[in-house]
A = this chain, B = another copy of it.
Amino acid sequence: MPQTPEPFDLSSYIPYRLAVAAERTSAALARRYREEFGISVAEWRVLVHVSDAGAVSIRDIHQRVHLEKSKVSRAASRLEEAGYLIKEVNGQDRRLLALRLTDKGQDLMAQLLPIAQAFQTQLKQLLDSQLEAFDSALQVLMEDDL
């Protein structure tokens, strides 16, 4: 019996499908604001959290938005250099930073958020009846031990 190296169908392999779908989705979103605003995905996540939560530390962002702390640090530095946010030292604990949006940063978010919302709406329409199951599947993959 020849040991056929049992064919493996990558295109039905969940980690692969997930990676491709995520990459396409991120790329589609990035297209919508990278060229116009020069914002990367990492910077986008930092902006969202700072915009939402006010004065946050690098560590806060790291924990909340699933980014390496060095990635957060560098994204924040780029955003600071671009004038979208400022870094202050936290008075309570001087190891911590307190990141805040500048006016320019708030203007930026006022432009970015509608784009992001529209994309979310588009995706929801696309997924339609599968949305609910899709979402709870993602929840499992985001939280369970793998």
Once the chains bind, are A66 and B141 in contact (CB under 8 Å)?
no
Q: Is the CB of A130 within 8 A of B123?
A: no
A28 and B138 contacting across the interface, CB-CB below 8 Å? no
Report Cα–Cα, A18/B14, bound state, in Å.
Answer: 12
User: A146 on the interface (CB 8 Å rule)?
Assistant: yes
Compute how far the CA of A141 lies from the CA of B130 in the bound complex, rounded to whole angstroms: 12
Residues in chain B near residue A138, CB distance under 8 A = 17-18, 21
Which B residues touch A141, using CB under 8 A?
A: 21, 24-25, 123, 126-127
Q: Which of B13, B18, B29, B49 contacts A22 (CB 8 A)?
A: B18
Across-interface contacts of A19 in B (CB, < 8 A):
22, 25-26, 41, 66
**Given A10-B48, A15-B22, 11 extra CB contacts under 8 A:** A7-B52, A15-B120, A16-B65, A20-B142, A24-B141, A25-B146, A123-B141, A123-B146, A130-B134, A130-B136, A131-B137
